[in-house]
């Protein structure tokens, strides 16, 4: 299952396996999760050489989404976020994440863990099953709609995801985020691409990613 891998990555990055609070969304009917990525990311992350520059104009992902439910600018922000992770472009990554999240993350990691953009990139490598792959397309939809059958009927997807951040940063962070945001989205991302043999691969399958909107601008929390 790859539904909650970015939540698992959040847990690894913020709290070294902080617990299931960042690995699942509420009362999931099927608790099965993939832990293979968790055991392998630490071994290989240090060997990756980050790319310090990449041109967003070179991003040619095909984006598929319902514009009535996923705003254009949100779709573009998520696409650039993954492009930054793929190319390990730290500056571009910072431009796509929520400012409050960025401040809280930097404070926490400076105190405890050290930063890990390479960790997020290595997760992509692990999920692709190869370090030689090309991202070709992203399909975006509201997680509440596409994943509803896998969860209890009254699951609040956004709130359950926010609970992971409350555990990491504290209740004040979540309160401030909600007060500063015009809307918060839990988006399910399906990412497809090709491996080195030209074969189509599914890199991410309905991965949940949280993003907040404020004054028409969007920022990913991840």
**String of DSSP letters for 172-186:** HHHHHHHHH-SEEEE
Considering the entire predicted model, what is its pTM? 0.78
Reported as half-sphere exposure (CB side, CA atoms, 13 A), residue 1 has a value of 16
What is the structure's pLDDT at 109?
63
Q: Which residue has the tokens 């090309």?
A: 134
pLDDT of residue 37: 40
Which among 158, 155, 217 has a CA at the least distance from the CA of 27?
155
Question: pLDDT tens digits, residue range 152-195?
Answer: 777 788 888 888 888 878 899 999 999 999 999 999 999 999 99
| Better-scored residue on pLDDT, 64 or 37 | 64
Q: For residues 104-119, give the mean pLDDT.
A: 64
Cα 192 from Cα 167, distance rounded (Å): 32
Residue range 120-127: average pLDDT?
Answer: 84
Q: Reduced to 3 states, what is the DSSP secondary structure of residue 147? A: coil
Look at residues 178, 144, 189 and name the one whose alpha carbon lies nearest to residue 25: 144
Reported as a pLDDT band with limits 50, 70 and 90, residue 116 is: low
What pLDDT is attached to residue 112? Answer: 53
């Amino acid at each position: 299952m790859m539904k909650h891998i970015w939540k698992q990555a959040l847990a690894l990055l913020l709290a070294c396996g902080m617990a299931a609070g960042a690995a699942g969304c509420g009362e999931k009917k099927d608790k099965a999760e993939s832990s293979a990525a968790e055991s392998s990311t630490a071994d290989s992350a240090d060997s990756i050489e980050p790319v310090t520059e990449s041109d967003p104009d070179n991003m040619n992902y095909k984006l598929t989404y319902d514009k009535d439910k996923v705003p254009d600018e949100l779709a573009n922000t998520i696409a650039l976020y993954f492009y930054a992770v793929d190319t390990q472009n730290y500056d571009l990554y910072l431009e796509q994440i929520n400012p409050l999240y960025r401040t809280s993350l930097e404070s926490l990691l400076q105190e405890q863990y050290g930063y890990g953009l390479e960790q997020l990139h290595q997760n992509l490598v692990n999920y692709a099953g190869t370090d030689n792959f090309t991202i070709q397309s992203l399909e975006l939809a509201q997680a509440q709609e596409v994943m509803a059958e896998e969860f209890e009927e009254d699951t609040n997807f956004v709130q359950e995801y926010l609970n992971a951040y409350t555990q990491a940063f504290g209740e004040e962070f979540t309160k401030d985020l909600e007060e500063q945001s015009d809307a918060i989205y839990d988006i399910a991302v399906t990412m497809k691409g090709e491996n080195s043999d030209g074969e189509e691969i599914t890199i991410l399958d309905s991965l949940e990613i949280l993003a907040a909107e404020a004054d028409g601008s969007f920022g990913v929390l991840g």
